[in-house]
Structure 1
Amino acid sequence: MSESIDPEGAHLAALRRLADFAGARVFEVGCGDGRLTLGIARDAATVFACDPDERDIATARQRLPRDLGGAVTYAVGSAREIEIPRAGFDIVVFSWSL
């Protein structure tokens, strides 16, 4: 399980110090298995998250709690390849994708 990478939640805490996700429309590039997506989505209005690895996206979708299902959308592909929704975004996160 991916929480073992950051069991104390330090990575998510660092992101929260940099940006206020409360009510924000967030685009997460390179979301992997959704390790950070779920924490971001707890505060954000919506999260559109993408990753080129189909297995990671499948895992992320399986781990998505029902209460966040309407707020999170996962897509397979890189930010250059996928069709990004026309909705605007307030914050773009790409913490481990560069």
Structure 2
Amino acid sequence: MSEQVNTNGGLVLVSSPMDKKVLGITNVTRQRDIPVCPDLVIAHPRMNLYIQENLRINNIYRQYTDDAHLLPYSIDESILFNNSVFITKGTFNSYILL
């Protein structure tokens, strides 16, 4: 849930498939339009923590490949190329998407 104090609530940033199906909540639902549901968990974003964890994870990847072969695709996706680590018996010129 984003926070926007001057508009009487923010927008839902992410909703689970069950929330979408049962409650009709989507990523454009305003906070004030969320149905009352005692089991619904509303979590506020912690982007600074998310960024720190992403950097930590990519530093782990750097133990296995160099920067030329590590492609951070987005905040939660990275492509890691390193044939010497990920080649398995019978494969050649392969890569793995993490």
TM-score by length of 2: 0.25
TM-score, normalization by structure 1: 0.25
Identify the structure with the greater helix proportion.
2
More RCO (CA 8 Å, sep 6+): 1
Say which structure is richer in strand.
1
